[in-house]
Copies of this chain bind each other. A is one copy, B any other.
Amino acid sequence: MLTKRQENILKMIVVEYIKLAKPVGSKLICDKLNCSSATVRNEMMQLEEMGLLEKTHTSSGRVPSEKGYRYYVDNLMEPYELNNEEVYKLQTVFNNSQLELSDVLNRSLEIISDITSYTSVVLDTKSHDNKLKEISVVPVSSEILVVIVVTDLGYVEHKNMEVQGVSLDEVKKTVKLINDLIVGTPIDEISAKLEFEVKPVIAKYVKQHEMLYNAFYDVFTDISSKNVSVVGKNNILKHQEFNDVSKLKDIFSKLDDKNLIENIEESNNDINIYIGHENKVDPDVTVIKTNYKTSKDEGTIAIIGPKRMDYDRVVNLLDYIKKQIEG
């Protein structure tokens, strides 16, 4: 158990180190506390023995360890109030009704990346509640058609479809059959339904049924995919812990990794903080993430920065966004 004074010292070291990124010495602390530097040093030694602080070399000041950050985050962190500018900037995005949710998320996290200098990740998945509303087809050339898929919650996707030697009438017949048979189907069940309910029927009524079926099947499998975007990558360059080209390469490649989101995703619905080795992205970063869920979409938003991160601010910004969109 930590004494009140130890907690105070730990907190001051974390806050100071987050601000200045330089190991914190006993002098700086004892100025603010009413005791001598020797006393502080003794306490620091104890905190180090408990694994909450570290030294960069034998005679350096102290730096919080991952465990130290963890203790700070769990016990010492104070809530942060968004300031007017932050709220104002974010509201311009939330109030723009022309935007789809995925755009709202991207833009608001762009803002957050801007004001915090961290990097954001958005994973947006269409909710299973989306049901097929209609498909339509527009011929572009004799062999290419555009298929437009619309769901009842307002998602629109389109894809080129190639068919060879199929008359437009046959295509239209197929479209009508598909519309008749699977309108109202949740998007993640379309593939199955297409195979077991639509395929037999068009096999019966449509001439080049095989080619048409395959073409539509391809279109629908492509459409239900997830959408991941990483915002504010360049902010990585601003942090001195990454002030080294080979480390930069490393981090950038991890941010571009297709599996990035799998390293972040998790079922938990709160705001979660993964410090250093607690996350799977990179041991030198902290990931703060939360999931969101609306009637139309669900997904994850995350902020990635150095372990020396402005924890309270990021947590509260994420919380604000989550509440706004779920809202």
Q: How far is the CA of A104 from the CA of B232 in the complex (A)?
A: 26
Contact indicator A248/B252 (Cβ below 8 Å) = no
Q: Does A161 contact B (CB under 8 A)?
A: yes
Q: Does A154 contact B (CB under 8 A)?
A: yes
Residues of chain B within 8 A (CB-CB) of A150 are 138, 146, 148
A281 to chain B, nearest CB (A): 16
Residues of chain B within 8 A (CB-CB) of A138 are 133, 150, 154, 156
Contact indicator A248/B237 (Cβ below 8 Å) = yes
Residues of chain B within 8 A (CB-CB) of A162 are 97-98
Contact indicator B158/A156 (Cβ below 8 Å) = yes
Q: Does A173 contact B (CB under 8 A)?
A: no
- Residues facing B in A191-232 (CB within 8 A) are 218-219, 222
Q: Which of chain B's residues has its CB closest to A146's CB?
A: B154
Copy total for this chain: 2
Contact with B along A158-169 (1 / 0, CB 8 A): 111110000000
Contact indicator A98/B218 (Cβ below 8 Å) = yes
Q: Does A319 contact B (CB under 8 A)?
A: no
Q: How far is the CA of A160 from the CA of B256 in the complex (A)?
A: 30
Contact indicator A237/B222 (Cβ below 8 Å) = no
Q: Does A181 contact B (CB under 8 A)?
A: no
Tell me if A's interface is mostly helix, strand, loop or mixed. mixed
Q: How far is the CA of A218 from the CA of B148 in the complex (A)?
A: 22
A272 to chain B, nearest CB (A): 28
Q: Which of chain B's residues has its CB closest to A240's CB?
A: B245
Q: How far is the CA of A161 from the CA of B136 in the complex (A)?
A: 20
Q: How far is the CA of A248 from the CA of B156 in the complex (A)?
A: 38
Contact indicator B98/A160 (Cβ below 8 Å) = yes
Q: How far is the CA of A156 from the CA of B139 in the complex (A)?
A: 12
Query: Which of B156, B218, B219, B234 is close to A146, meaning CB atoms less than 8 Å apart?
Result: B156
Known contacts A237-B248, A248-B237, A144 near B148 by CB under 8 Å: no
Q: Does A100 contact B (CB under 8 A)?
A: yes
Residues of chain B within 8 A (CB-CB) of A325 are none
Q: Which of chain B's residues has its CB closest to A138's CB?
A: B150
Q: How far is the CA of A144 from the CA of B156 in the complex (A)?
A: 14
Q: Does A91 contact B (CB under 8 A)?
A: no
Contact indicator A237/B249 (Cβ below 8 Å) = yes
Contact with B along A135-155 (1 / 0, CB 8 A): 010101001101010101110
Q: Which of chain B's residues has its CB closest to A161's CB?
A: B98
Query: Which of B99, B144, B248 is close to A97, meaning CB atoms less than 8 Å apart?
Result: B144
Residues of chain B within 8 A (CB-CB) of A153 are 140
Q: Which of chain B's residues has its CB closest to A156's CB?
A: B158
Write the residues of chain A forming the contact surface with B, with a CB cutoff of 8 angstroms: 97-100, 133, 136, 138, 140, 143-144, 146, 148, 150, 152-154, 156, 158-162, 218-219, 222, 233-234, 237-238, 243-245, 248-249, 252-253, 256
In the complex, besides A97-B144, A140-B152, 11 extra interface pairs with C-beta distance below 8 angstroms are A97-B143, A98-B162, A98-B218, A138-B156, A140-B154, A146-B150, A234-B253, A237-B248, A237-B252, A243-B245, A248-B248
